[in-house]
Amino acid sequence: MMFLDLANFYLIPGIVMGSIYAIGAIGITLVFSIMRHTNLAHGDMATFGAFSALALFSAIGISPYLVLPLATVIVGFLSIVIDWIFYEHLRNKPKILTTISSLGVGLMLRSVVQIIWGVNTTAYVTGINKPYKILGLKVKSTEIITLGVSAALVIILILFLNRNRWGKAMRAMSNSPDLALISGIDNRKVVALTWFVVGVLCCCAGFFLGINTELKSMMGWNILLPTIAAAILGGIGRIEGALVGGLIIGLIEEMSLMVIPAEYKAASSFVVLLLVLLLRPTGFFRSKII
């Protein structure tokens, strides 16, 4: 009984939150590997994605999952446009400028969300989502779908990067942008492709955060710290690292509830980040390539 309680109250929610962090951290890692800056707009982009899906769901109906693909495409293109407007002209300047610019972009996105959808908490569907019981484990349908879709995204992304010509071009550019350029790879197209993929990942992270908890304008900003912690923990620049890092952060956060009050949950990822930066700043996987 002890184990089942542990699983139901801490492990399952931890893995679910962890997979949301993982999807976010993979996006952070992709931006870092190819554009070489930390994308501080990541969380707010996720918020925007979550609310775009809400808007589409209100307009079209049926099921929030059904509108998710459309929302991801919208956020994917939005993130390409944001790059064109705010980051492209900074490409050859010190990367700190792009990082700061991304903080501004995040603030803008958050304001847009607040203007359009307000600051109140909302949800995709109201009412109680009754968990299924499987061998004593209580799992909600939202949780199963979150895990399934996250796993699928990771597998598709890894296959894309290793089998597809453009995916390999992303790895090539991450490895050596100059050599990619003189090999005839159009770096600007690779950058646009990367932003599209990052937009899709952001949107999914926001959507699953929304469907497992609630939607509010600060939701993405609130997960930015654990998401970046996950990316660093996994050794920034590694997809598998970001995945494992996300799961670890999710589990630590939930388990910390055994000893600290819920309001301080976010502090646990801060502590993990601090420890990683102090003890092993390169993360647990060898750094550098996607």
Binding site for other proteins (CB under 8 A): 165, 168-169, 171-172, 174-176, 178-186, 288-289
Nearer to other proteins, 178 or 263 (CB): 178
Nearer to other proteins, 67 or 161 (CB): 161
Residues in Cβ contact with 110 at an 8 Å cutoff, skipping those fewer than 6 apart: 44, 47, 217, 218, 220, 221
In whole angstroms, what is the distance from residue 166 CA to residue 34 CA? 13
Neighbouring C-alpha atoms within 13 Å toward the C-beta of 129: 15
Nearer to other proteins, 131 or 177 (CB): 177
The distance of closest approach from Cβ of residue 174 to other proteins in the complex, given in angstroms and rounded to an integer, is 8
The distance of closest approach from Cβ of residue 163 to other proteins in the complex, given in angstroms and rounded to an integer, is 11
The distance of closest approach from Cβ of residue 17 to other proteins in the complex, given in angstroms and rounded to an integer, is 31
The distance of closest approach from Cβ of residue 186 to other proteins in the complex, given in angstroms and rounded to an integer, is 5
Nearer to other proteins, 180 or 191 (CB): 180
Start-end of H helices in 215-264: 219-233, 239-256
* Residue tagged 């899709």 (tokens): 200
Q: Which DSSP letter does residue 192 get?
A: H
Nearer to other proteins, 111 or 176 (CB): 176
In whole angstroms, what is the distance from residue 135 CA to residue 104 CA? 48
In whole angstroms, what is the distance from residue 113 CA to residue 49 CA? 10
Nearer to other proteins, 157 or 228 (CB): 157
The distance of closest approach from Cβ of residue 168 to other proteins in the complex, given in angstroms and rounded to an integer, is 6
In whole angstroms, what is the distance from residue 178 CA to residue 62 CA? 48
The distance of closest approach from Cβ of residue 26 to other proteins in the complex, given in angstroms and rounded to an integer, is 17
The answer to whether the Cα torsion of 258, 259, 262, 266 is positive or negative is: negative
